[in-house]
Homo-oligomer: A and B are copies of this chain.
Amino acid sequence: MIAQAVRESGSVTVQELAELTGASEMTIRRDLDALAAQGVLERVRGGARTLLLRGEEPPFALRAREAVEAKRRIAAEVSSLIADGETVLLDSGTTCLEVARLLHQRPVTVMPLSLQAIHMLGDSPGPATLMVPGGRPRAAEGALTGPLTLASLSALRFDTGVVGCCGLSAAEGLTAYDLDDAAVKKASITSSRRIIVAADGSKLGRTAFAYVGPTTLLHTLVTDTTAPADEVAALEGAGTVVKIV
User: Interface of A with B (CB < 8 Å)?
Assistant: 115, 118-119, 122-123, 125, 129-137, 139-140, 142, 144, 147-148, 151-152, 155-156
A140 touching B125 in the complex, CB below 8 Å, given contacts A132-B135, A148-B133: yes
* Copies of chain A in the complex: 2
Main secondary structure of the interface of A (DSSP, over half): mixed
| Cα A115 to Cα B115 with chains together (Å) | 10
Q: Which residues of B contact A135 (CB under 8 A)?
A: 131-132
- What is the CB-to-nearest-CB distance from A10 to chain B, in angstroms, rounded to a whole number? 25
Assess whether A132 is in contact with B115, with CB atoms less than 8 Å apart: yes
Assess whether B140 is in contact with A131, with CB atoms less than 8 Å apart: no
| Cα A130 to Cα B143 with chains together (Å) | 12
Assess whether B133 is in contact with A134, with CB atoms less than 8 Å apart: yes
16 residue pairs of the A-B complex, CB under 8 angstroms, read A115-B118, A125-B139, A125-B140, A130-B136, A130-B137, A131-B135, A131-B136, A132-B134, A132-B135, A132-B144, A132-B148, A133-B134, A134-B152, A151-B151, A151-B152, A151-B155
